[in-house]
Amino acid sequence: MGKPKSRKRASRAGEISLRSPGLSYRPAPKAAVLLLHCERLPLPELAEKFGTPLYIYSGNAIRHRYREFDRAFHGLPHTVCYSVKANSNLGILRLLSVMGCGFDVVSGGELERVLQVDRKAARKVVFSGVGKTAAEMDAALKAGILLFNIESESELELLAERAERRRITARIALRVNPDVPAETHPYISTGLHRHKFGVPIHDASRLYARAADSLFLEVVGVSVHIGSQITNLAPFTSAMERVADLVRGLREDGHTIRYVDAGGGLGIAYTQIGLPEFADFVGHYAAAISTPLQGLKLHLLLEPGRSIIGPAGALLTRVLYHKNNNSKKFLVVDAAMNDLVRPALYDAYHEIVSVVRDAAAGEHQVFDVVGPVCETGDFFAREREMPPVKDGDLLAILDVGAYGMVLASNYNTRPRPAEVLVDGKKARLIRRREKLSDLFRLEKAKA
Ligand code: LLP
């Protein structure tokens, strides 16, 4: 991958905004350097107070992106159901819930998180996923969720049985697999027949008929999700064209289709790849999705994850050591693949910036930025040009709000980082750092 161009742009005097909303460099008091801030808080202060590695989120950035997303669909009846899997911290869910956001969940655990934050939010919950268990269905029926997205005939049978047993009607959509390639990383592409997701679109009408036969299932919609980190919008339109045809056919068959769930998947700019400003991009996305549905009088459900939260989060890490192996230069930092696995798992690119910017600091150099975990795959950047940094300096890894902390593990018996939500000059600890005792708590050395 080529070296991305700088993402910095000038704003008010002395301040340089990063493309990541909520982050900017501001002059340090009494020093000729700039300090990276999240909203109005200098990151060194956060590192001091909460330690590193540390996940930091900008509350204003999340709110701004949610509003822009919602506004893009203003012409249509719609509900934004934030995809909890992207970042499921209760503090984040609460922030979105008070703004009126709904939720897309894929497990009983995610549902329980939403209920913990606001029991009434269940009315705006859609439940997706290929492997829902009977217990998870029971919990969702009891909570009174808006919609089950059904992914197979066997699941349909089981839900019919659970709903009948509880005498609660389940509103359902079938998640159809439209056989549309999404042009993204193969691990996160989902809309082809060879993927495990959804039911083949040509088989859908038979399954809808089966669902309509069941007293405790109410057929209300069609759902689709073709993948994640999609930046070319054409596949969204192709998928919705197929969905629109299906809706017309199902209505002819006598089904009442009120909802179309368009899934998630809108990509973000991890590098300077020339995406428009978010408001414009999400506007194009809204057009790509809604144009094929014109005239169908539907309520649209949307399941964005990354596009709401991704750019609003950074991972703050401290340089432990410089290390040279022959001509190769490494920066060993205190965060590792267990804290942020995207580079190791998808070879994902994340921009890394220095928290202190000192114009007089000297030449940039090329480094691999790596963590302490005992795997060669434990890297955040390879052959990356970096400003001069010393041991003990702070770096910020950008665009990690989505699929960062949720994918963190305790590999190498490393406690997971703390998470902080920043609002203006206030920082709220929304998850404390794990202690070693937290890691051992469930284990037994002796019988
Ligand atoms: N709805 C469904 C049914 C999904 O499977 C997903 C993501 C979403 C919505 C949200 O998609 P988003 O708007 O965030 O693209 N760990 C990977 C991403 C996995 C996405 C899984 N499904 C990564 O770090 O890139």
Question: For position 331, which CATH number holds?
Answer: 2.40.37.10
Q: Among 268, 284, 308, give the residue marking a domain's end.
A: 308
**What confidence category does residue 6 fall into, taking pLDDT thresholds of 50, 70 and 90?**
very low
Please tell me if the CB atom of residue 310 comes closer than 6 angstroms to any atom of ligand 1. Answer: no
**What confidence category does residue 41 fall into, taking pLDDT thresholds of 50, 70 and 90?**
very high
Q: What is the mean pLDDT of the chain?
A: 94
Whether residue 363 is contained in a domain is answered as: yes
The Å distance, Cα 269 to ligand 1 centre, comes to 15
Residues 154 and 271 placed together within one structural domain of the fold: yes
Whether residue 6 is contained in a domain is answered as: no
Whether residue 286 is contained in a domain is answered as: yes
Q: Among 308, 327, 362, give the residue marking a domain's end.
A: 308
How far is CA 9 from each of CA 13, 15, 271, rounded to the nearest angstrom? 12, 9, 14
The Å distance, Cα 407 to ligand 1 centre, comes to 12
- In this prediction, residue 189 carries a pLDDT of 72
Q: How many structural domains does the chain have? A: 2
Q: What is the pLDDT of residues 115-158, one digit of tens each?
A: 999 999 999 999 999 999 999 999 999 999 999 999 999 999 99
Residues 258 and 330 placed together within one structural domain of the fold: no
Ligand 1 atom with minimal separation from the 129 CA:
3
The Å distance, Cα 434 to ligand 1 centre, comes to 26
Name which residue leads in pLDDT, 229 or 202: 229
**Could you tell me if 218 and 169 are in contact, meaning their C-beta atoms sit under 8 angstroms apart?**
yes
Task: Find the mean pLDDT for residues 241-268.
Answer: 97
Residues 299 and 342 placed together within one structural domain of the fold: no
Task: Find the mean pLDDT for residues 2-14.
Answer: 51
The Å distance, Cα 84 to ligand 1 centre, comes to 9
- In this prediction, residue 287 carries a pLDDT of 98
Whether residue 11 is contained in a domain is answered as: no
Name which residue leads in pLDDT, 10 or 98: 98
- In this prediction, residue 227 carries a pLDDT of 93
Residues 262 and 213 placed together within one structural domain of the fold: yes
Residues 194 and 292 placed together within one structural domain of the fold: yes
Whether residue 336 is contained in a domain is answered as: yes
Q: Cβ contacts of residue 300 below 8 Å, gap of 6+?
A: 73, 76, 77, 78, 79, 259, 260, 261, 262, 289, 290, 293
pLDDT of 5 strictly over 70 = no
Q: What is the pLDDT of residues 220-241, one digit of tens each?
A: 999 999 999 999 999 999 999 9
Strands in 199-310 per DSSP E: 199-200, 217-223, 259-261, 299-302
Residues 179 and 246 placed together within one structural domain of the fold: yes
**What confidence category does residue 29 fall into, taking pLDDT thresholds of 50, 70 and 90?**
confident
Structure token pair of residue 248: 């017309």
pLDDT of 424 strictly over 50 = yes
Name which residue leads in pLDDT, 134 or 275: 134
pLDDT of 10 strictly over 60 = no
How far is CA 297 from each of CA 95, 244, 292, 382, rounded to the nearest angstrom? 31, 11, 12, 50
Residues 224 and 286 placed together within one structural domain of the fold: yes
Task: Find the mean pLDDT for residues 262-272.
Answer: 93
Please tell me if the CB atom of residue 104 comes closer than 6 angstroms to any atom of ligand 1. Answer: yes
Q: Which of 38, 81, 101, 374 is catalytic?
A: 374
Q: Is the pTM of this model over 0.75?
A: yes
Q: Among 250, 273, 308, give the residue marking a domain's end.
A: 308
pLDDT of 8 strictly over 60 = no
Count CA atoms within 13 Å of residue 228 on its CB side: 16
**Could you tell me if 7 and 351 are in contact, meaning their C-beta atoms sit under 8 angstroms apart?**
yes
Residues 293 and 401 placed together within one structural domain of the fold: no
Q: Is 374 a catalytic residue?
A: yes
Q: Which structural domain, as residue segments, surrounds residue 41? A: 16-58+311-440
For residue 200, the domain's CATH number is: 3.20.20.10
Q: What is the pLDDT of residues 288-313, one digit of tens each?
A: 999 999 999 999 999 999 999 999 99
Please tell me if the CB atom of residue 235 comes closer than 6 angstroms to any atom of ligand 1. Answer: no
**What confidence category does residue 11 fall into, taking pLDDT thresholds of 50, 70 and 90?**
low
Q: What is the CA radius of gyration of the chain?
A: 23
d(CA 369, CA 436) in angstroms, rounded, equals 26
Output b/e per residue, 153-169; b: 16+ Cβ within 10 A.
Answer: eebbebbbebbeeeeee
pLDDT of 1 strictly over 50 = no
Whether residue 405 is contained in a domain is answered as: yes
Instruction: Give, using CA atoms, the residue closest to atom 23 of ligand 1.
Output: 403
Q: Which residue has the tokens 């900008």?
A: 58
d(CA 369, CA 383) in angstroms, rounded, equals 8
- In this prediction, residue 182 carries a pLDDT of 81
Percent of the chain scored above 70 by pLDDT? 96
Whether residue 143 is contained in a domain is answered as: yes
Whether residue 10 is contained in a domain is answered as: no
Residues 323 and 408 placed together within one structural domain of the fold: yes
- In this prediction, residue 13 carries a pLDDT of 64
pLDDT of 360 strictly over 60 = yes
- In this prediction, residue 197 carries a pLDDT of 79
Please tell me if the CB atom of residue 151 comes closer than 6 angstroms to any atom of ligand 1. Answer: no
The Å distance, Cα 131 to ligand 1 centre, comes to 16
Please tell me if the CB atom of residue 350 comes closer than 6 angstroms to any atom of ligand 1. Answer: no
Please tell me if the CB atom of residue 152 comes closer than 6 angstroms to any atom of ligand 1. Answer: no
Residues 273 and 375 placed together within one structural domain of the fold: no
Residues 257 and 361 placed together within one structural domain of the fold: no
Please tell me if the CB atom of residue 263 comes closer than 6 angstroms to any atom of ligand 1. Answer: yes
Select from 62, 65, 83 the residue to mutate for testing ligand 1; criterion: most ligand atoms less than 8 Å from CB.
83
- In this prediction, residue 275 carries a pLDDT of 86
- In this prediction, residue 202 carries a pLDDT of 87
Q: What is the pLDDT of residues 150-191, one digit of tens each?
A: 999 999 999 999 999 999 999 999 999 988 888 777 776 777
Residues 240 and 369 placed together within one structural domain of the fold: no
